[in-house]
Amino acid sequence: QVQLVESGGGLVQPGGSLRLSCAASRSIFTFNRMSWHRQAPGKERELVAAIPSRGSTNYADSVKGRFTMSRDNAKNTVYLQMNSLKPEDTAVYYCNADGILSAYWGQGTQVTVSS
């Protein structure tokens, strides 16, 4: 069983920054894709950013130019650097790992953008 542990969420003022981390219990090389999703109250879960095993990172239009997803293969960890945060970025952020046969989710970390 794969475990994904997110951290780094919290309360931040509009315009501020946060960096989320997602540590996997096995090598992230084994996954076809690592991604970040978010779910705001009363809304569907949406894809924020994704790094495939090969190819470039993709971002939702709403976060392009503000969020950056990266990976540290040696630490089996992916990150989501979030800058210029807006109140509409408030959500629970989830890490996802797509394997060959299964997909895995972390427990989520709350991000609240408010003054």
Confidence (pLDDT) at 100: 84
Q: What is the DSSP letter of 42?
A: T
Q: Tell me, what amino acid is at 82?
A: M
Q: Which of 9, 34, 28, 31 is nearest to 20 (CA)?
A: 9
CB 113 within 8 A of CB 87: yes
Per-residue pLDDT band at 96 (split at 50, 70, 90): very high
Between the alpha carbon of residue 15 and those of residues 1, 3, 70, 85, the distances in Å are: 38, 32, 21, 5
Q: Tell me the average pLDDT across 2-30.
A: 95
Confidence (pLDDT) at 38: 98
Q: pLDDT tens digit string along 19-57?
A: 999 999 999 888 999 999 999 999 999 999 999 988 899
Q: Tell me the average pLDDT across 4-32.
A: 95
Q: pLDDT tens digit string along 76-88?
A: 999 999 999 999 9
